[in-house]
A = this chain, B = another copy of it.
Amino acid sequence: MAMAKPSRTRRITIADVARAADASVSTVSRVLNGIGTVDPALAERVRLAIEELGYRPSAAAQGLARGRSGTIGVLVPDLANPHFSDLVKVFSAAVRDLGARVLVMDSDEDPAVERELAEDLIRYADGLLLCAPRMPRADLAALVARGLPLLVANRQEPGLALHSVCIDVHGGLLAVCGHLAQLGHRKVAYLAGPEGSWANRERLRALSGARSFGLEVTVLACGSLTDDGYAAGPAVLDTDATAVVAYNDFVALGLLSRLTELGVRVPGDLSLTGFDEIDLARYSSPPLTTVAVPRYDLGRAAGEALARLMAGEDDLESRTLPVELRVRESTGTA
């Protein structure tokens, strides 16, 4: 004989609390939100009832009544990438201080999915943070037109009144180039990152700027993962470059591993740079020359910016955060 399911106990509502505390629903609400004045004794009774019943206001009902959900949608291309999980972590801590929660979605680097998820997030969220969106400009514009507070991290789109916070990728890679040039390198290979990525475009822009100080750049399609860097080993050796600029630290470490296997010494035979400074960069052998990006500040800045957007300030200028070159032992004279 099948045991009846324990019939999901009815939700405890504010009315239950009111009844238990012998107060009105409005009063309970007041106590809950600390709005208006309530007689201390009554308030205490209410608090007690809340405690005893284990009452928690329904987020849906609050959201509906208040007209805002207290939720911010965050869209990332790949949550498994520490760059983004770090950002989400910091951002979510930042907005929690504002009383907001974060709904994360992962587009798996697919621009089409990205648009769709963003539309879905809108239904839930009071504001949106788009991290390094790969979607076409038109989609981005459509999203902006929806009118809800929208912030973009690490992408700029000239002419599209986009509020954004960005890392100074261009400046960072320029610094890398300067460093390499100073060491006497003339020919460098660049292991390129994801196609649609703004960060990749910025790096390319810096690279072409670096021609002005005599750098000759070969661009090799690669990717953003350790495996991609490892795989790129032979291709790199096919060039006559004396230095390799990897898209990021993962790629650099993957390549470093392959080079070590192949008996190529770093920086003796080949100099190598990364980007983003992951923890392990200081711990590889040799330690990696890379660019430190202010992850924490980025998340923080995004949180603040979105807070202000949601408060109705619309005169926000976009911010670009400075980066810092970290010279270590993976780079040497040509």
Contacts and interface: CB of A to CB of B under 8 A. Distances in A.
Nearest to A78: B89
Interface string A255-298: 01100100000000000000000011011110000000000000
A88 interface: yes
A88 B104 contact: yes
A88 B108 CA distance: 13
A249 B88 CA distance: 23
A5 B123 contact: no
Nearest to A258: B283
Interface string A221-255: 00001110010000000000000000000100110
Contacts of A93: 106, 108
Contact of A57 (B106, B123, B230): B123
A58 interface: yes
A122 B56 contact: yes
A312 interface: yes
A112 to B, nearest CB: 15
Given A123-B58, A227-B279, A104 B104 contact: yes
Given A60-B61, A61-B64, A257-B285, 5 more contacts: A59-B63, A60-B64, A80-B82, A101-B120, A103-B104
